Amino acid sequence: MVGTVDEPNSIGPDVPGYRHIRLLSATPMSRVYLAEELTGERRRVALKVLDLSTSRADFIARFRAEVTIAWALRHPHIVETFHAGEIPGHHYLAMRHVAGPDLDLLLRSGPLPVEKTLRMAGQIADALDAAHRRQLVHRDVKPANILLDNATGDAFLCDFGIAKDLRAQAITQYGAPLTPLYAAPEQQTGRRVTRHADVYALTGVLYHCLTGRPPFDRSTTHQVYEAHRKATPPLISTARPDLPARLDEVFRRGLAKRPPDRYASCTELVTDLAAILGGTPRPPRTRPAFHWSPARIRVAAVAGVIVVAVAAVPWLIAQHHRSTPTQATKPPASTAFPTSAERTLIDLVGDSGCRRAPATETTGFTGVRAAVDCAPPASGATAETYVQFDSVSQLRAAFNRDAGTAKAPTGVDCATGRAPGFLGNRRYDLRSVDLGGLLCYPGADSGLVLEWSVEPLRVLGRATGADPAALTAWWASYFGPPTAAIVSAVNKQSSPPFPTERESALLAHIPAASRNNCVRPSDQQVRMNVGDTPVTAVVCGPTSGAAIVFYYQFPDPVTMNASYGAPDPGGADCTTATTDFGGEHSYSRGGETGRLRCFTTDNTGERDMIWTDDRLNIEGMAFQCGDPLAVLDWWRNDAGPS
């Protein structure tokens, strides 16, 4: 980070314990200052301050995720986090100050020397592999997120704001802006993201380092996306005839379209690169030359599975992964661990360090198939337990028994971490489909307990912690079974099973890139969105443009247009409203015509779109959209209907 603007110490919000030196960088929603600690080691730090009054909800979620993940990762080449907190109107994060440029700035002058490229590559590859071992995928590896220290030449990876935890949902993935020059094809089409996405992005960064340009450099964002999905990786031997032709195979493999065809790790990629170039990757340092003082994270929680209202339309911000459990029987205490039922439950929640839960964890429960205690995957929770039941009725009985024992008031939301006395009990949903209950109450030894049920999979989760905001933020990011497993169970248990013939016909009009985790929305949700008109309805997400998208097919254009509402004769064209995202206008798109309305919610800054298709009588509603340019690119190419 390089300082660009000198400011008096009084500039910026007063963060206790720090003195501002100068402004390093700024956006409309956040600023990064070079600051000095006023106590202790009096280190110089990069102090990132988020202004809550001007920040969109997705940026606030990114910031909170960055705090949580940065706290969990300790690596010599990942920018270290010292302290995080909240002051009136702002969140802040104090990090190590790397006195030097980012890689993006260096590459503006052309290719890097081979030795410098290898030095940086070895350190960043080791940092990424360390994150992958913690089941974290960075998802935004790019030159701007690689910092280089002027004094030592060492490289540091930063900005885990849109990282994804493979064991649970990532609150920041909704509307999270991708960097199309380096993003893997699966990120752009909404498919499951693994460590191979970071391997792909690092390969693209290294190609840029050696040639002076990204591998798929095109005129428009859509052309870049298309090239990543369809174009053959360029030959580096053509761009750099002075380099060995054998490098072509390294970059062909690193930029393979299918994740399994890529290198298994970032280090393997860099090792092959170095072997051909005749150099040696710079090994990671054993420890950076500074120390970490633990501090409690006090950042307001993001609710990962609660209903949020925008334009009278709720949606869920939650994602999970992996597969649906199979039937088994709870073992006697003397049976070797794990049984097949216990192994299924462990694989489902995806945690490590699991063991059979003691009998006291399920005292009074009936129909228990398996119960395990696991190590929490990140800070915020000190312990976690998962129990799977034979039936939903037995799961509900266990949850209701605990709620009754705690005397938790019904209707009080625990997900914000602000329930009075940390005592509450409320239902939560997935894309308007009811999933279960969320319970919070004080536990033993001044601890706190968060308990939740996932009824489609008959799973009860329980986590303990000390700080309400940190515990609920942990739950929002890391809890329980995956979306794919939940969606599969929800659809099988729907009446009639989803999809029906009409729903299948509607799904066929949704492009594959947006046909993710689709379910039938609840009757209440449909009434809220389109009234009592008989429609065929599906809801999918997330996509590269929006967190959640509803599609409604009407019997005729009259009822569709009545649902959409009156056109605005003087409305702005949303396709050109990239700064002030608001307007209503007719559109023509690839032969399809209709109306398009876009708007930004005043109190949250979140962006939404509603559009109609005259030929198919389908109305689309996209909520919690991301960057306007990315949203419009998605709408033009992947939103449908088609």
SS (H, E, C) 336-386: CCCCHHHHHHHHHHCCEEEEECCHHHHCCCCCEEEEEEEECCCCCCCEEEE
Q: What are phi and psi of 607, to 5 degrees?
A: -110, 140
Q: Which two tokens stand for residue 442?
A: 């004080």
Mind listing the pLDDT tens digit for each residue in 311-325? 222 222 222 322 333
Catalytic residue of the set 58, 126, 140, 633: 140
Question: What CA–CA distance (Å, rounded) separates 58 from 63?
Answer: 9
Mind listing the pLDDT tens digit for each residue in 264-279? 999 999 999 999 997 5
Please give the pLDDT value at position 61.
64
Are 587 and 576 in contact by the 8 Å Cβ rule? The answer is no
Please give the pLDDT value at position 303.
27
Pairing of strands 44-51, 30-37: antiparallel
Distances (CA, A) of 299 to 367, 563, 586: 38, 40, 43
Please name the amino acid found at residue 110. G
| pLDDT reading at 331 higher than 50 | yes
| pLDDT reading at 205 higher than 90 | yes
- How sure is the predictor about 334, in pLDDT bands with cuts at 50, 70 and 90? low
pLDDT higher at 581 or 621 = 621
Q: What is the dihedral of CA 514, 520, 524, 529, to 10 degrees?
A: 30
Mind listing the pLDDT tens digit for each residue in 288-314? 322 222 222 222 222 223 232 222 222
Q: Which two tokens stand for residue 518?
A: 């689709």
Q: Coil, strand, or helix at residue 298?
A: coil
| pLDDT reading at 136 higher than 60 | yes
Q: What are phi and psi of 539, to 5 degrees?
A: -135, 135
Q: What are phi and psi of 577, to 5 degrees?
A: -90, 70
| pLDDT reading at 485 higher than 70 | yes
Question: What CA–CA distance (Å, rounded) separates 457 from 460?
Answer: 9
pTM above 0.85, yes or no: no
Please name the amino acid found at residue 334. S
Q: What is the mean pLDDT of residues 196-209?
A: 96
Question: What CA–CA distance (Å, rounded) separates 117 from 208?
Answer: 10
pLDDT higher at 83 or 281 = 83
Q: What are phi and psi of 505, to 5 degrees?
A: -65, -40
Percent of the chain scored above 70 by pLDDT?
Answer: 80
pLDDT higher at 310 or 95 = 95
pLDDT higher at 506 or 57 = 506
Are 598 and 580 in contact by the 8 Å Cβ rule? The answer is no
Q: What is the mean pLDDT of residues 112-136?
A: 89
Please give the pLDDT value at position 30.
76
Secondary structure tally for the chain: helices H, strands E: 17, 25
Catalogue the long-range contacts made by 279-282 (C-beta closer than 8 Å, 24 or more residues apart).
279/114, 279/115, 279/118, 280/118, 280/122, 281/118, 281/119, 281/121, 281/122, 281/123, 281/125, 282/118, 282/119, 282/120, 282/121, 282/122, 282/123, 282/154, 282/155
Cα angle 614, 620, 624 (rounded to 5 degrees) comes to 150
Mind listing the pLDDT tens digit for each residue in 597-623? 998 876 567 788 999 999 999 999 998
CB atoms within 10 A of CB 76: 18
Please give the pLDDT value at position 332.
60
| pLDDT reading at 59 higher than 60 | yes
Please give the pLDDT value at position 138.
85
Question: What CA–CA distance (Å, rounded) separates 630 from 222?
Answer: 9
Q: What are phi and psi of 547, to 5 degrees?
A: -70, -40
Q: Coil, strand, or helix at residue 230?
A: helix
Question: What CA–CA distance (Å, rounded) separates 252 from 254?
Answer: 6
Mind listing the pLDDT tens digit for each residue in 415-457? 877 788 999 999 988 888 889 999 999 988 779 999 999 999 9
Question: What CA–CA distance (Å, rounded) separates 499 from 504?
Answer: 6
Q: Which two tokens stand for residue 11?
A: 């500039």
Please give the pLDDT value at position 164.
56
Residue 208 CB contacts under 8 Å (≥ 6 apart), including other chains: 107, 143, 181, 214, 215
| pLDDT reading at 583 higher than 50 | yes
Distance from the first to the final alpha carbon of the chain: 45
Mind listing the pLDDT tens digit for each residue in 560-575? 999 998 888 888 899 8
Question: What CA–CA distance (Å, rounded) separates 120 from 154?
Answer: 7
Question: What CA–CA distance (Å, rounded) separates 615 from 521?
Answer: 23
CATH superfamily of 103-277: Transferase(Phosphotransferase) domain 1 (1.10.510.10)
Question: What CA–CA distance (Å, rounded) separates 251 from 200?
Answer: 9
pLDDT higher at 60 or 129 = 129
Query: Which residue has tokens 């998802």?
Result: 139
Residue count of the chain, please give it. 642
Please give the pLDDT value at position 39.
77
Please name the amino acid found at residue 587. Y
Are 316 and 430 in contact by the 8 Å Cβ rule? The answer is yes
Please give the pLDDT value at position 237.
92
Catalogue the long-range contacts made by 637-640 (C-beta closer than 8 Å, 24 or more residues apart).
637/222, 637/225, 637/511, 637/513, 638/189, 638/511, 638/513, 638/514, 638/543, 638/544, 638/545, 639/511, 639/514, 639/543, 639/545, 639/549, 639/611, 640/509, 640/510, 640/511, 640/514, 640/551
Question: What CA–CA distance (Å, rounded) separates 540 from 6?
Answer: 47
Q: Is 140 a catalytic residue?
A: yes
Domain boundaries, the chain: 103-277, 308-482, 494-637
Please give the pLDDT value at position 306.
27
